[in-house]
Every structure is written in C-alpha cells, then in structure tokens.
C-alpha cells in the first residue's frame, strides 16, 4: 500500500500541496485529476523522491527519506511527461534501458529475453528491431511504457502518459496499464486531464485543487456536475455508458470569479 500522511510541497513560497493524506491499494489504478497548477505532477515527483516534501510517504511499510532514495525507487516505475528518446536505437534496445542499473558491457541472453517478453505481453514485439525514431508517437509511447515495466515495479507512476496520443493509442496504452496493474497486483497512480478516460480506465479518482484533495472515490461518485463546473469553470453535460461510467462533454467556458 502507498500511504501519504500530511504531505506538503512548496515551490519557492508557493504551496502546491498542503497536508495531503492518501491511501492507494495494490491491484488498483488511481487517476490524479485537477486543473492546471493543482499540484498533480509535483505530487508524483514527491512520491518518486525527486521533489522535496514535508510529511511522510511510505510504500509497503518502507518510508521515503533523504538517505534511501536509490533503494526506494528500485520498486517504482516512473514515466515522466517529457519522456523522449532522440538516439538511433532499436525499440528493443530502448526497452532494455529499463535495466540501466544492471547493465554491463554486454547484454545477457536472460536480459534480452526479459525485454522481449515484456514487449510480447504489450503486443509490440513486432517492433523490436525497428529504429525508435521510425515509430509513430503511439508506438514510441508503448515502447517507453515497456521500458518502465522491465524494471519489474511494484508501484507505477505515470505523468500524463497519453497527452500526445490519438484516441486509439490512448485507449491501447491505458488498457495495457489497467490490465498489467491487475495481472501483477501493482499500485498505479497516473496523471490524466481527460475526465472521461479517467472514468473508463481508473478504479478511483483523486481530485486536487488549491493544493488540497478535493475528492477521492469511484468515478460515478466523484465526477459530479457541481464539482467539475466549480473546479474547471466549464459547463458540462454528463452521460453514462452501459457500465454506468460517466462520460463528460464540455459545453462552454464559465466566467471565473475575480479574487478580491
């Protein structure tokens, strides 16, 4: 279990997270939502150990501290927003970079086999020998996701993993995230902006606003018209699919109240 107790994060004098308390279970996908500047990426960075915070963060009973960063993130698969590859490498070679801390002068047959197995599980083994620069954006994103999984993480942190993808590749990647999380009993926390995608692919939603947790729970209970219009300043219609999951349609921007 991932637990945050009274976690606060400051960027200069600006508080981007204030006294955050969260519990995230194994085998579940959690989506972090909230307006721009709500502190979503900062919270992900704090959990990974790259952003300073006060309060405590624990995972499976181990606490994140100043001296155990390397040991802490061994069990974490982290995919940042700006995760790009500019080198001319094969897709398999990019995946194998997930073992960067265990690679020597030569790749072992076992390491190559592990990389191929992950690609097979994600349905991208046919891309193994392709140059990463020749792949589409969606294909590259899947390769980078395979790289994260090769680390054999227990906790997945994904910061806007589908922001640059078309509708098809968004669904492909998020379906892989959900399936892999369930199959391997991981804890997955991902930042998304699309409310409808979050409702479809996350077990629980965590909504941040003004440095606080505004709401947490299943998509049906969290994504109310009142909450969306209050936080995002957009008038919306909410429909429900056959599984009674909400589909959010933005209609028009609402005028924000000026601060006095």
Render pLDDT for 131-155 as a digit per residue (tens, 0 to 9): 998 988 888 888 998 999 988 899 9
Radius of gyration of the chain (CA): 19
What are the strands, taking DSSP E only, across 52-186?
54-59, 62-63, 76-79, 155-159
Question: What's the pLDDT at 260?
Answer: 41
| Inter-CA distances, 173 with 13, 79, 81, 140, 260, Å | 37, 13, 15, 11, 44
Number of other residues whose CB lies within 10 A of the CB of residue 96 = 23
For the stretch 161-171, pLDDT in tens is: 988 788 988 89
Question: What's the pLDDT at 188?
Answer: 97
Strand pairing report for 187-191 and 14-24: unpaired
Distance CA 210, CA 144 (A): 32
Question: What's the pLDDT at 242?
Answer: 93
Per-residue pLDDT of the chain (260 residues; tens, 9 = 90+): 899 999 999 988 889 999 999 999 999 999 999 998 888 999 999 999 888 999 999 998 888 876 777 778 888 999 987 666 777 899 999 999 888 765 555 677 888 898 999 899 888 999 999 999 898 888 888 899 899 998 889 999 999 998 878 898 889 889 999 999 999 999 999 999 999 999 999 999 999 998 899 999 999 999 999 999 999 999 999 999 999 999 999 999 987 654 44
Question: What's the pLDDT at 64?
Answer: 82
Residue 183 CB partners (closer than 8 Å, separation 6+): none
Write down how long the chain is. Answer: 260
| Inter-CA distances, 236 with 37, 156, 228, 242, 251, Å | 21, 31, 8, 20, 5
CB under 8 A, 24+ apart: contacts of 105-110: none
Question: What's the pLDDT at 222?
Answer: 96
């Amino acid at each position: 279990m991932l637990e945050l107790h009274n976690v606060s994060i400051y960027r200069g004098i600006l508080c981007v997270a204030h006294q955050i308390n969260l519990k995230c279970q194994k085998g579940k996908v959690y989506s972090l939502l909230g307006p721009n500047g709500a502190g979503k990426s900062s919270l992900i960075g704090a959990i990974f150990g790259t952003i300073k915070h006060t309060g405590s963060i624990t995972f499976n009973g181990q606490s994140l501290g100043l001296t155990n960063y390397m040991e802490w993130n061994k069990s974490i698969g982290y995919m940042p927003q700006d995760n790009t590859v500019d080198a001319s490498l094969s897709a398999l070679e990019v995946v194998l970079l997930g073992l960067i801390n265990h690679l020597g002068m030569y790749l072992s047959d076992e390491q190559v086999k592990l990389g191929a197995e992950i690609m097979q599980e994600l349905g991208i083994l046919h891309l193994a020998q392709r140059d990463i620069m020749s792949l589409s954006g969606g294909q590259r994103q899947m390769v980078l996701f395979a790289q994260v999984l090769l680390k054999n993480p227990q906790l997945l942190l994904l910061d806007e993993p589908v922001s640059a993808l078309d509708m098809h590749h968004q669904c492909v990647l998020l379906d892989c995230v959900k399936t892999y999380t369930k199959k391997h009993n991981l804890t997955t926390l991902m930042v998304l902006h699309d409310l409808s995608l979050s409702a479809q692919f996350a077990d629980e939603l965590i909504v941040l606003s003004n440095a606080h947790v505004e709401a947490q729970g299943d998509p049906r209970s969290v994504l109310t018209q009142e909450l969306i219009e209050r936080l995002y300043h957009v008038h919306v219609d909410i429909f429900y699919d056959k599984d009674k999951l909400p589909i959010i349609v933005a209609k028009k921007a609402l005028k924000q109240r000026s601060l006095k």
